């Protein structure tokens, strides 16, 4: 990278899924598609203030072709310096389909059916060593190589559970001159959930993360759970530290909550876009006055779509007055279908929806409609129209659908929200909150929402709208960067001797 202005920091975002994906054009060039995630949208504002390098993984043949063309140095794309790593496909399969999803994801969302799965077998160990560890190491190598001549202060922000070992390898390659601050988008459960992993893998993950300077989580609960997990499993993680710091082998690591949000301005704009209006008009006609219960999710076991359908069935059984008067729409975005558990889950959802329709349909009414696909304009249109938004995950880092919904909804719709979504801590007071396991309680909440007096709906909807409006994704990003800058300047003031990284993760 360019060793220019020595004062301003270089921000390095590192993630598995990148901000853009490429498609090959006939003329040999590439068409660029921007991802829709909050992180990508937040980047717009960030890139105006700071120089940003984004390192991600090539995920398609066109991405790999682009990466090959630009393997010598990062390339400026849409305001960011982009660098894609291009690992061997077999290693990537082990990394993504065996370790990251399902093993780590399932532990952190507590999805395993423990008497039966997982079994940490020979293939898991192979995937850990030749997939996960190897790819984390590759990221570190590429970053260290790219930044070899960099003179500016460097802030590295690794994203999520794909990159737990990266801080260790990066620290090893670059020493204390980089400030490393991962952010975990998914929940961090308490120590007990981590017993599924053998000590060697578990400790490598913890030691990997403790090579960072500060670690960001969605909620205070996650941040606290992380501190507890380290204290519980690492004998030399300082026993007397504070609630949100760990002293480990001479270094102090902070554990901090930064609840993520949405790009309020952009979502509001898109909600009024021509395509969204068209969908809105078409669906208003389709609903023909019926009340709408909406859910919008990736096809993902942690989203608890199946129990949501069971709760809807309970509603129709217990309160027949809603039959013919209500419509459930589930917008489901295909996700990780190479992983068996995800395929099975989709099959079960379609089966349950089919059974409900077979039992309750009339000649003019189909109680539930599952719409599989990825169409953001359509999702936003329906979020404007819902009477009830059902967000009932078993566990969820935040759940941005809840925030998008309450921002754009036009009908003073009611949010039915799981107490295990990160969004619960911000929105729970004005939603109807449920246990995701309690299908009876969820059916009662749906009934309460469908029959709630207009005045109460309005009061709740206004409160929810204001909360989301006040803290958007730029706020989330800047809070992290500001803390990193403060850490850097206090580190420079103290100018302490370099700390020693922990044990080497199993390589
Ligand atoms: C969650 C994770 C992200 C991930 C996204 C989509 O939101 O926190 O890290 O990118 O799901 O999953 P995928 O496997 O398609 O990247």
- The whole-number pLDDT of residue 318 equals 98
Q: How far is the CA of 507 from the centre of ligand 1 (A)?
A: 25
Q: 257-268 burial by CB neighbour count: b if 16+ within 10 A, else e?
A: bbbbbbbbebbe
Q: How far is the CA of 142 from the centre of ligand 1 (A)?
A: 22
C-alpha to C-alpha distance for 416 and 74, rounded to whole angstroms? 45
Residue 245 in any domain: the answer is yes
Any ligand 1 atom below 6 A from CB of 186: yes
Q: What CATH number is associated with residue 328?
A: 3.40.50.2000
pLDDT tens for the chain, 507 residues long, are 654 455 789 999 999 999 889 999 999 899 998 876 656 766 666 777 788 999 999 999 999 999 999 999 999 998 899 999 999 999 999 999 999 999 999 999 999 999 999 999 999 999 999 999 999 999 999 999 999 999 999 999 999 999 999 999 999 999 999 999 999 999 999 999 999 999 999 999 999 999 999 999 999 999 999 999 999 999 888 877 788 999 999 999 999 999 999 989 989 999 999 999 999 999 999 999 999 999 999 999 999 999 999 999 999 999 999 999 999 999 999 999 999 999 999 999 999 999 999 999 999 999 999 999 999 999 999 999 999 999 999 999 999 999 999 999 999 999 999 999 999 999 999 999 999 999 999 999 999 999 999 999 999 999 999 999 998 888 999 999 999 999 998 877 775 444 333 333 443
Atom of ligand 1 nearest to the CA of 162: 9
Are residue 245 and residue 273 in the same domain, yes or no? no
Any ligand 1 atom below 6 A from CB of 160: yes
Are residue 309 and residue 414 in the same domain, yes or no? yes
The two three-digit tokens of residue 191, written as one number: 């120590």
Q: How far is the CA of 333 from the centre of ligand 1 (A)?
A: 12
**Closest of 468, 462, 423, 417 to residue 441, by C-alpha:** 417
C-alpha to C-alpha distance for 493 and 180, rounded to whole angstroms? 18
Q: How far is the CA of 17 from the centre of ligand 1 (A)?
A: 7
Atom of ligand 1 nearest to the CA of 159: 9
Are residue 246 and residue 294 in the same domain, yes or no? no
Any ligand 1 atom below 6 A from CB of 335: yes
Are residue 251 and residue 292 in the same domain, yes or no? no
Any ligand 1 atom below 6 A from CB of 14: no
| Structural domain count of the chain | 2
pTM above 0.75, yes or no: yes
Are residue 342 and residue 366 in the same domain, yes or no? yes
Atom of ligand 1 nearest to the CA of 96: 14
Q: How far is the CA of 103 from the centre of ligand 1 (A)?
A: 14
- The whole-number pLDDT of residue 37 equals 61
Ligand 1 atom 8, closest CA: 185
Q: At what angle do helices 199-210 and 220-233 cross, to 10 degrees?
A: 120
Q: Which domain holds residue 384?
A: 264-470
Are residue 77 and residue 139 in the same domain, yes or no? yes
Ligand 1 atom 16, closest CA: 17
Residue 140 in any domain: the answer is yes
> What DSSP element (H or E) covers 418?
strand 414-418
Are residue 254 and residue 307 in the same domain, yes or no? no
Are residue 140 and residue 288 in the same domain, yes or no? no
Enumerate residues 6+ apart whose C-beta is below 8 A from 386: 292, 293, 294, 405, 409, 411, 413
Ligand 1 atom 10, closest CA: 17
Are residue 185 and residue 293 in the same domain, yes or no? no
What is the bridge-based pairing of β-strands 80-85 and 30-34?
A: unpaired
Q: How far is the CA of 399 from the centre of ligand 1 (A)?
A: 12
Residue 204 in any domain: the answer is yes
Are residue 329 and residue 186 in the same domain, yes or no? no
Residue 95 in any domain: the answer is no
Any ligand 1 atom below 6 A from CB of 336: yes
Any ligand 1 atom below 6 A from CB of 17: yes
- The whole-number pLDDT of residue 506 equals 40
Q: Are 301 and 345 in contact (CB under 8 A)?
A: yes
Helix boundaries (H) for 196-320:
199-210, 220-233, 264-271, 274-287, 305-318
Ligand 1 atom 12, closest CA: 335
Are residue 239 and residue 188 in the same domain, yes or no? yes
Which of the listed residues 185, 188, 393 should we mutate to test ligand 1's pocket, taking the one with most ligand atoms within 8 A of CB?
185
């Amino acid at each position: 990278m360019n060793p220019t202005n020595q004062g301003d920091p270089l921000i390095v975002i590192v993630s598995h899924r990148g901000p853009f994906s490429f498609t090959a054009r006939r003329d040999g060039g590439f068409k660029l598609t921007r991802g829709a995630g909050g992180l990508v949208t937040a980047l717009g504002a960030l890139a105006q203030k700071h120089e940003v390098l984004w390192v991600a993984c090539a995920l398609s043949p066109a991405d790999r072709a682009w990466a090959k063309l630009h393997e010598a140095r990062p390339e400026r794309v849409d305001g960011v310096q982009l660098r894609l790593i291009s690992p061997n496909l077999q290693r990537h399969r082990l990394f993504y389909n065996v370790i990251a999803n399902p093993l780590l994801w399932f532990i952190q969302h507590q999805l395993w059916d423990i008497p039966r799965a997982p079994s940490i077998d020979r293939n898991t160990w192979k995937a850990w060593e030749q997939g996960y560890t190897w790819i984390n190491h590759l990221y570190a190598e590429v970053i260290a190589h790219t930044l070899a001549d960099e003179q500016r202060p460097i802030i590295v922000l690794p994203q999520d559970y794909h990159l737990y070992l990266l801080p260790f390898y990066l620290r090893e390659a670059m020493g204390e001159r980089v400030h490393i601050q991962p952010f975990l988008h998914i929940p961090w459960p308490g120590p007990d959930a981590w017993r599924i992993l053998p000590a060697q893998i578990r400790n490598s993950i913890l030691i990997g993360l403790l090579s960072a300077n500060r670690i960001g989580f969605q909620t205070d609960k996650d941040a606290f759970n992380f501190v507890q997990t380290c204290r519980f499993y690492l004998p030399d993680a300082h026993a007397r530290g504070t609630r949100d710091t760990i002293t480990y082998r001479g270094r102090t690591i902070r554990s901090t909550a930064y609840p993520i949000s949405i790009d309020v301005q952009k979502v509001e704009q898109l909600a009024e876009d021509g395509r969204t209006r068209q969908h809105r008009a078409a669906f208003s006609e389709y609903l023909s006055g019926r009340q709408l219960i909406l859910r919008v999710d990736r096809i993902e076991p942690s989203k608890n779509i199946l129990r949501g359908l069971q709760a809807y069935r309970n509603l129709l059984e217990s309160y027949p007055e809603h039959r013919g008067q209500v419509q459930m729409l589930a917008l489901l975005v295909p996700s990780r279908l190479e992983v068996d558990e995800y395929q099975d889950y989709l099959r079960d959802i379609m089966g349950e929806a089919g059974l409900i329709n077979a039992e309750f349909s009339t000649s003019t009414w189909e109680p539930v409609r599952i719409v599989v696909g990825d169409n953001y304009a359509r999702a936003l249109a329906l979020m404007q129209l819902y009477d009830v938004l059902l967000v009932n995950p078993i566990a969820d880092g935040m759940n941005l659908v809840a925030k998008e919904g309450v921002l754009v909804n036009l009908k003073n719709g009611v949010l039915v929200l799981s107490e295990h979504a990160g969004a619960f801590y911000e929105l729970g007071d004005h939603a109807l909150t449920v246990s995701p396991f309690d299908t009876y309680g969820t059916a009662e909440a749906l009934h309460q929402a469908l029959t709630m007096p207009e005045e109460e709906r309005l009061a709740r909807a206004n409160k929810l709208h204001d909360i989301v409006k006040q803290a958007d994704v730029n706020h989330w990003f800047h809070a992290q960067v500001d803390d990193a800058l403060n850490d850097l300047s206090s580190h420079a003031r103290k100018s302490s001797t370099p700390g020693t990284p922990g044990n080497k993760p199993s390589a």
